[in-house]
Amino acid sequence: MSIHILPPEVASQIAAGEVVERPASVVKELVENSLDAGATQISVTVKEAGRGLIEVADNGSGISLDDLPLTVSRHATSKLSTADDLFQIATLGFRGEALASIGSVSHLTLTSRSRDSDQGGKLRVDGGHISAVEPVGVPEGTVVKVADLFYNVPARLKFLKKDVTERRHIEEFVARYALAYPGVRFQLRQEDRHTIQTSGNGDRREVLASLYSLELAQQMLEVIAEYEQLTITGFTSAITFTRSNRREIILFINGRWIQDTALVTAVVQAYHTFLMVGRYPQSALFLELPPELVDVNVHPTKAEVRFRNRDHVFRGVQRAVRRALLAHTPVPDISRESFGPASDPVDFQRMDQAWPSPDQDFQQGQLHWEPRDRQLDESRVPLLRLIGQVAATYIVAEGPDGLYLVDQHAAHERILFEQFLQQRQTSIPSQVLLEPSVVEFSAAEASLINDQLPVLGTLGFQVEEFGLNTFLVRGIPQILAGIEPGAALRVLVEDFEEDETPLQAEFEAKIIARVCKRAAVKGGQTLSVEEQRVLVEDLEACQSPRTCPHGRPTMIHLSVDLLERQFGRRGAR
């Protein structure tokens, strides 16, 4: 067989494979274009889970008639002109591939009118063949219709998941961007049904409420933090609200949704000892940092990024979330009913009617937020006056805002845990192996280890590369010395994969085991008044006094308000 240059359509289709994986990627590319065009309204319509039709309409700056044919040719972009710009990317797109790629695997219709032109233009691309531009009269903005996606790539079509799954991907994606751009009014119609509708009034909490639920929006704690050149805003769930996986930890960098296991780890780590094993928070964090400090040009889908200073970002995220949590760690309520919902659910049907005319009064649906904000200094337990012990297990104390019941065992565990944690050495001793052990990993695990080689040293591992995907382990941390070296290294790889702080779980398990084995007073043990007083004082001094290291509450709070209600002094609800 002779070697020949591929026809451009074929080359396009191959490239499309990288950019356009599934209907959701089309939505992503088009919505990002709209956002780059400065749109304040973006409407997405999807039929047959994106295989039939994907239409994205915006009111952005539009494309002038002359530029229209260029938009669908490869490496044509308005967002970038020199290679240097690549390191200063402030727009979501920049590769100039999206429209060309989508055009090569679908019937694409592009209609647009630029802000400073009276006439719009229409252009069709069918499997890569570009038609002539015909002038049309359209409103300002751009409408892209992508019909029959993958009609000429049966293999891709075959590999699409069930409609439900594809729809969910689209929905998740639009939801994420709606959250990232609260100032943009998003609308998603799937199969003639409104699934997402935001007001575009700039209130992220409102977007949260419309995407998830009002209850969730109320429970989300606000994260605001600024570290040098890094601004972090967003929401993270209170410890009372958890998820069974990490999927709902959403991260944006400079308005771009990214996937980064390390940063997700940072978030999970911030909840350390607050959540039960296997439970994860829900977060939406928006990071802003100068474009030159982050490289988004890693992969065509741009879901991965590289940081100039990863550690700084990691620490920033962890600290920001932790701070938000500590400021809000709530005492479990004695009765759910004692707190009414802050406001009634929003009638989104009404908002729907308001669409798409921007003039209609959107204020109807506006909410009055009463998030349960507590000040930072209130994360600690207030000064308590000891009253006594009940059932040889619970300590009764009075605070400024009512009665506190403290579980003496859980509270003591928390106190000891924090003491031990503080005492923990920063360096991890390493035990040299009698005979270096050769361990083989899968390519993915190997690259993970390669990335982390310098970190491994500080964790007590002495590991060298030893050929393809193979490593020579010379020493392992003392804490893992009971198990085989290969297994020890795998523990670490799992920690990395599972986004846990490396070996954190091992250390904590050890500390918790010590706390439990030693000293922590048990329930059923009568304590002298002096012992009770010290316990309460120590708990007051704890960083996060409200849960024990296993995640159970250390105390129950009965507010004066609740007592009054219960005694009928105030109108019962």
Partner 1 sequence: MKVSVLQENLAKGLNIVSRAVSPRSTLPVLSNVLVATDEGRLRLSATNLELGITCWIGAKIEEEGSTTVPARTFTELVGTLSDQQVEMSLSVRTQTLNVHSGSSNTDLKCIDSQEFPPMPTPDSGDAIPISVNDLKEMIQQVAFAASTDEARPILTGVLVTVNGDELTMASADGFRLSVRKANLSSSTSRPQLAVVPARALSELARIISDGDQMVDMILPPDRGQVIFQMQDIQLVSQLIEGTFPDYEQIIPRSKETRSVLSTSSFLKACKQAEIFAREGSHIARINITPGGELKPGSIMISGQSEETGSSQSEMDASIDGSPLLIAFNVRFLREVLEVVKTPEIALETSVDTAPGIIRPVGDDSFLHVIMPMHLGS
Which residues contact partner 1 by CB under 8 A? 420, 423-425, 427-435, 457-460, 462, 475, 477-478, 481-485, 487, 514
Nearer CB in complex with partner 1: 200/460: 460
Q: Supply the minimum distance, in Å, between the C-beta of residue 434 and partner 1.
A: 5
| Residue indicated by tokens 């729809």 | 167
CA distance 254 to 309: 15
CA distance 506 to 416: 17
Q: Smallest Cα–Cα separation from 263: which of 250, 274, 254, 272? A: 250
Nearer CB in complex with partner 1: 26/428: 428
Amino acid 23 reads P
Nearer CB in complex with partner 1: 321/511: 511
Q: Are 477 and 431 in contact (CB under 8 A)?
A: yes
Q: Which residues contact 301 (CB under 8 A, 6 or more apart)?
A: 18, 19, 21, 25, 28
Both tokens of 402, joined, read 């009512």
Q: Supply the minimum distance, in Å, between the C-beta of residue 438 and partner 1.
A: 13
Total residue count of the chain as it appears in this document: 573
Q: Supply the minimum distance, in Å, between the C-beta of residue 435 and partner 1.
A: 6
- DSSP single-letter state for residue 205: H
Nearer CB in complex with partner 1: 435/530: 435
Q: Supply the minimum distance, in Å, between the C-beta of residue 430 and partner 1.
A: 4
Task: State how far the alpha carbon of 517 is from the alpha carbons of 520, 521, 549, in Å.
Answer: 8, 10, 14
Both tokens of 405, joined, read 């019941």
Nearer CB in complex with partner 1: 332/436: 436
Neighbours of 504 (CB within 10 A): 13
Beta bridge partners of 129: 126
Q: Supply the minimum distance, in Å, between the C-beta of residue 494 and partner 1.
A: 16
CA distance 260 to 19: 19
Nearer CB in complex with partner 1: 52/457: 457
Beta bridge partners of 306: 295
Nearer CB in complex with partner 1: 444/519: 519
Nearer CB in complex with partner 1: 116/435: 435
Q: Supply the minimum distance, in Å, between the C-beta of residue 315 and partner 1.
A: 19
Buried b (16+ CB within 10 A) or exposed e, 224-252: ebeeeebebbbbbbbbebbeeebebbbbb
Q: Supply the minimum distance, in Å, between the C-beta of residue 454 and partner 1.
A: 10
Nearer CB in complex with partner 1: 375/425: 425
Q: Supply the minimum distance, in Å, between the C-beta of residue 429 and partner 1.
A: 4
Q: Are 38 and 60 in contact (CB under 8 A)?
A: yes
Q: Supply the minimum distance, in Å, between the C-beta of residue 459 and partner 1.
A: 7
